């Protein structure tokens, strides 16, 4: 069983050569350990330098900061292959597709030279802390603050549902540097907080219904002092920075969900061929064939749309509304397909020993993170 990516208009021969090295790494270093990591509730930090060594981390970083200066297609290939072959949510995409862009786009030269090479090598694992208890997708409602004290910020507050929270060495923390200004988004900044800062504490590695291996954490900041040079870009521009990077984050989610949707379909076709019901393979029943035919048609549309969005993004033409639409459509498709595929497995689909059960549980969060799908509809609706 393999991910059929030919022909794809978003990739060239160099992309596909890279795909083969990514696949080999995942099959050797990730897939055999995925079950153990799920039981442990965390991916070990030791896998990160191995991924960095073969170029899986942050391939778009400019050469002058130790990167390869490649296009986002290389990130997308890591996302696709990880979703199809890896069997574990490693956290690589958060670092490569989301966090690193903030450093590249808005970081000072000092910040770039210090952090980017370590992120590329896997020496440093990063997280971005936006969500707070009680705020969810309402970033303007955040309470975490950073007041000035001499040439330092003093940070107080808490964050939750933070991917890579247990493993992170560096956290990009969204804070209010001005709690009085209106509208509230004008008072938001992003501050780099090293995990060894006094007053920073990690809370629970949260107990989730899926993606068990992904460390998702509470983070607490109690009088955490950081130098003002740790501010990312300009003070008060944090909300603008977040909004400018969200199209890529949402495209990244669409990429991963599309590959996992394809995996669920392929697993189900294989199961339907082998499962004997009333003396014949499940696939010989018309209902099974019709359900799978409908899914196959939608997968064809999905891959075509994904390539359209990737090609738009390469040219920096993908709009926030288009990114939101990609996230909305592909994650809705993922859930539709996962549920239908689990149903075709019958009672076996409810057993964790079958891959479809784990994939079905893991898929549920896709319509929530990166902004809920209800928020995606609101964003698209505002552009009408």
Flag whether pLDDT at 305 surpasses 80: yes
- Among 243, 151, 133, 246, smallest CA distance to 188 is for 243
Fold of domain 127-236: Butyryl-CoA Dehydrogenase, subunit A; domain 2 (2.40.110)
Q: Say yes or no to pLDDT of 230 above 70.
A: yes
Active site residue 249: yes
Q: Does residue 247 contact residue 320 with C-beta atoms inside 8 Å?
A: yes
Contact (Cβ atoms closer than 8 angstroms) between residue 212 and residue 38: yes
- The confidence score (pLDDT) of residue 6 equals 59
In this prediction, residue 176 carries a pLDDT of 95
With cut-offs at 50, 70 and 90, classify the pLDDT of residue 137: low
pLDDT tens readout for residues 233-275: 999 999 999 988 889 999 999 999 999 999 999 999 999 999 9
Where, residue-wise, is CATH 1.20.140.10 in the chain? 240-382
pLDDT in tens, 326-345: 999 999 999 999 999 999 99
Percent of the chain exceeding pLDDT 70 equals: 98
CATH of domain 240-382: 1.20.140.10
Residue range(s) occupied by CATH 1.10.540.10 in the chain = 13-124
Q: Residues spanned by CATH 2.40.110.10 within the chain?
A: 127-236
pTM across the whole model: 0.94
383: number of Cβ within 10 Å:
11
List 132, 213, 249, 322, catalytic entry = 249
Superfamily (CATH H level) for 13-124 = Acyl-CoA dehydrogenase/oxidase, N-terminal domain (1.10.540.10)
pLDDT for 154: 98
């Amino acid at each position: 069983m393999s991910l059929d990516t030919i022909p794809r208009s978003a990739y060239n021969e160099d992309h596909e050569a890279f795909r083969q090295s990514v696949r080999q790494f995942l099959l050797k270093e990730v897939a055999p350990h995925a079950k153990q990591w799920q039981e442990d509730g965390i991916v070990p930090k030791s896998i990160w330098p191995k991924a960095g060594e073969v170029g899986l981390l942050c391939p778009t970083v400019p050469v002058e900061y130790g990167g390869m200066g490649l296009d986002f297609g290389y990130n997308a290939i890591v996302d696709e292959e990880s979703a199809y072959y890896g069997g574990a949510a490693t956290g690589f995409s958060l670092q490569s597709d989301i966090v690193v862009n903030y450093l590249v786009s808005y970081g000072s030269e000092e910040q770039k030279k210090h952090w980017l090479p370590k992120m590329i090598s896997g020496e440093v694992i990063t997280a971005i802390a936006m969500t707070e208890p009680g705020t969810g997708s309402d970033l303007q409602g955040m309470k975490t603050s950073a007041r000035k004290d001499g040439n330092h910020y003093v940070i107080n507050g808490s964050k939750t549902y933070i991917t890579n929270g247990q493993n992170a060495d560096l956290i990009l923390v969204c804070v209010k540097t001005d709690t009085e200004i209106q509208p509230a988004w004008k008072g938001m900044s992003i501050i780099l907080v090293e995990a060894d800062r006094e007053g920073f504490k990690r809370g629970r590695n949260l107990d989730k219904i899926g993606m068990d291996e992904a460390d998702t954490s509470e983070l607490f900041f109690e009088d955490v002092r950081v130098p003002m040079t740790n501010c990312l870009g300009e003070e008060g521009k944090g909300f603008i920075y977040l909004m400018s990077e969200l199209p890529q984050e949402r495209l990244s989610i669409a990429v991963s969900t599309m590959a996992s949707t394809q995996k669920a379909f392929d697993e189900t076709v294989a199961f339907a061929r082998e499962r004997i019901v009333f003396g014949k393979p499940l696939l010989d029943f018309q209902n099974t064939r019709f359900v799978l035919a409908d899914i196959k048609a939608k997968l064809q549309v999905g891959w075509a749309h994904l390539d359209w969005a990737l090609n738009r993004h390469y040219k920096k033409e993908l709009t926030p509304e288009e990114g939101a639409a990609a996230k909305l459509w592909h994650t809705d498709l993922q859930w539709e397909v996962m549920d239908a595929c689990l149903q075709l497995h019958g009672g076996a689909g409810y057993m964790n020993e079958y891959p479809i059960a784990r994939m079905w549980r893991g898929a549920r969060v896709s319509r929530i993170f990166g902004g809920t799908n209800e928020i995606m509809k609101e964003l698209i609706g505002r552009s009408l």
